Amino acid sequence: MQLCEVYDDARRAGARIYAYDIGFADAVTVEVNGAYGIFVDFSRGKDWRRLSWQLAHEIGHCATGCTHKVSSRHDLIARHEYKADRWAITRYLSVEALRRAMAAGYTEPWQLAEYFDLPQKAVEQALYYWTQCRGVDFNTGRSRDL
């Protein structure tokens, strides 16, 4: 995943990215009258892989329209976070992209993380989503409900 691709997706989603010392989070998305701002706290010592995935998640909030008030109920926040994660996974770690990487010999989560230039945790999250939530079998090439 290229960082320039993430920035292009932010532009398409109508989001602007700002550097801001948030203090309580790595990044947050704010929506005001249909316009989105993604605020990233660069002082929190992120590497480029983590930053790319964090931005992908935040763009997921913009692309799905899933933003909420800080005082929202926990179940609403959890649903919005899930939808943002799901958007990032389907956009950057699709079944097809994962299968291409696996066919090229990248089969372990750490290898896939290096291949996609993303954190291993993001790859593990995507593999869980595709196999456990969507029924994809990467060993046989079959899918339960895609």
What does each of the 146 residues of the chain score in pLDDT, given as a tens digit?
Answer: 777 888 999 999 999 999 999 888 889 999 998 899 999 998 876 788 888 899 999 999 999 999 988 888 999 999 999 999 999 999 999 999 999 999 999 999 999 999 999 999 999 999 999 999 999 999 875 655 55
**What is this structure's pTM?**
0.88
Q: Which amino acid is at 101?
A: A
Helices (H), the chain: 3-12, 48-64, 74-92, 95-103, 109-116, 120-128
pLDDT at site 140: 78
pLDDT at site 145: 53
pLDDT at site 69: 84
For residues 137 and 131, is the Cβ–Cβ distance under 8 A? yes
pLDDT at site 45: 66
Q: State how far the Cα of 137 lies from the Cα of 144, in Å rounded to an integer.
A: 8
pLDDT at site 47: 84
pLDDT at site 49: 87
